[in-house]
Amino acid sequence: MKNVLIFGASGHGSVVLDILEKSKEFRPVGFLDSFIKKGTKKNGNRVLGSELDLLHIKEKHNVYGGIVAVGDNWVRRRLVRSILCLAPEFIFINAIHPSAFLGKNVHLGNGTAIMPGVIINSNSTIGDHCILNTRASIDHDGILSDFSSLAPGVCCGGNVHLAVGAAISLGTLVIENIGIGAWSVVGAGSLVLDEIPENIVAYGSPARIIRKRRAGEPYLGIPRNRKDLKFPFTYTA
């Protein structure tokens, strides 16, 4: 089995760990996380350091590759870029839960997480570093561009196209032949009947454009029991 690292030791990282532990190809050796103390144990695996320790840890543990397990699309892209600056040849693996269904002629990029119960139907293309969360589905001829994501329970009809960094939130329905623009966010429980331009926040049933969205603006909520948390990133393109 190939030794791999998980970048990000949050809840999303724990789900990715669970998937990789079910794999017959990969063996997780630990997490790298800049915001959790080195040595902290998460679901039986330790935080070995931050991404800045990558080269040392890669050699020490004979690491084949890894996956960035960060839910925010923009932050995930930043971390991928940081890793590639440190290790330009680093191999990004896919984490695919055994209960996921992939149809005929489905093409996957690298570094993508596919969670339990996901359905990707025939002739669909999934880019690099995407997230298809629990029980999300995309029908035939769908496209998820790099760093885009579907939250749990999202259902997309045929020929739906998410541009780079687009995010569709919990339980949203998207009818066939719809495009979601780059870095746009569709809010939870929406019904999308029309195209969504880039850099937009939209939600509702039917979904309506609410406002423009600035580059890197956070869109994933802070848990109510963690109001002490401050968003730790300064966004740059």
Using alpha carbons, select from 82, 150, 139, 159 the residue that is nearest to residue 112: 150
CB-based burial label for 202 (10 Å; 0-12, 13-18, 19+):
buried
Instruction: Give, as one character, the DSSP assignment of residue 197.
Output: -
CB 199 within 8 A of CB 216: no
Q: Do 66 and 74 meet the contact criterion of CB atoms below 8 Å apart?
A: no
Sign of CA dihedral 217, 215, 8, 54: negative
Cis peptide before 206 (omega within 30 of 0): yes
140 part of the active site: yes
Catalytic residue among 12, 97, 129, 140: 140
| φ and ψ at residue 55, rounded to 5 degrees | -60, -40
Q: Which two tokens stand for residue 11?
A: 């809840």
Q: Which residue numbers are catalytic?
A: 140
